[in-house]
Amino acid sequence: MKVLVTGAAGFIGFHTANALLARGDEVVGLDNLNDYYDVNLKRARLEILKKQPAFRFVKRDLADRLGVAELFAHERFDRVVHLGAQAGVRYSIENPFSYVDSSLVGTLTVLEGCRHNEVKHLVYASTSSVYGMNTHMPFSVHQNVDHPLSLYAATKKSNELMAHTYASLYGLPVTGLRFFTVYGPYGRPDMALFIFTKKILAGEPIDVFNYGNHRRDFTYVGDIVEGVVRSLDHVATSNPKWNSDDPDPGTSVAPYRLYNIGNQRPVDLMKYIALLEQHLGREAQKNLLPLQLGDVPDTWADVEDLVADVGYRPETPVEEGIKRFVDWYAEYYNVQL
């Protein structure tokens, strides 16, 4: 197939494009290469992708309505994996307008491109952050998610609503994937594992929020990508049992589906740090701080719908995933452990 991957220079986009290329798909990667974090890391990911003849890169902003429309019309993609957006929960508090431009306007240009060019399936990234004030664990796609705690989460929930609208109006099959705390090689420098590693190696204290009482469903990037690719192949369909008197948020009479992709094994943050210390061979100095604005204490994914429909369950243990990240970090940054 010819597949568009937006955010292809990003963490998950890079790994997803790599997986699609490895199985023989033609991939067009789109990214605006913004400087939210080290652009050199994004370029390093792209250099790996560019070595493969079935990959082409297009530098373009998703909010460029005309540019994105021209790309869709020219390329005639079979399917689209929409991963491009402004990342980060806390940055959405500092710079809210960038989330409107990338997540709302950017997703609309993608939906319009799919609608007008007979794209057979759109898979897009959502987030566990949409669960917001929910406390019933594990989080299920069948729960209501109308109480987000950050603009980042609110824009992702908006993406799900926008996707449903296009599925309903135009019969566009859409699948939304709620990712749970993704980590692994070539990860984002603004995320905890990357920050902790860098500071521990430099002998600097790490900030541990909520006094270390977080529990997170840390999910290895390889498991996320496997879920993305399998979902792309499993085209969304309508739920014939959907009932407006008891509406199911995870399905619809339209060709619309939502799935969680998480490891299903919440890990205490302090254990996560201890495993990192073990693999780095160094002890962290911990600066214990209160819960950050916009953050949630715990996450835990119910992935049974993903298993039933797509046939996949994430399985990489956090012990193995952290080791793979540390090995990559040491090689990439030439660090002796």
Residues tagged active-site: 152
The CA distance from 136 to 113, in Å, is 37
The CA distance from 149 to 134, in Å, is 10
Contacts of 24 (CB under 8 A, 6+ apart): 54
Q: Which of 269, 335, 260 is nearest to 300 (CA)?
A: 260
CA end-to-end distance (rounded Å), the chain: 42
The CA distance from 301 to 139, in Å, is 5
How many other CB atoms are there within 10 angstroms of residue 101's CB atom?
Answer: 14
The CA distance from 185 to 194, in Å, is 10
Contacts of 109 (CB under 8 A, 6+ apart): 62, 63, 64, 65, 68, 69
The SS3 of residue 286 is strand
The CA distance from 205 to 200, in Å, is 7
The pairing of beta strand 256-261 with beta strand 174-179: parallel
The three-point CA angle 159-78-172 to 5° equals 40
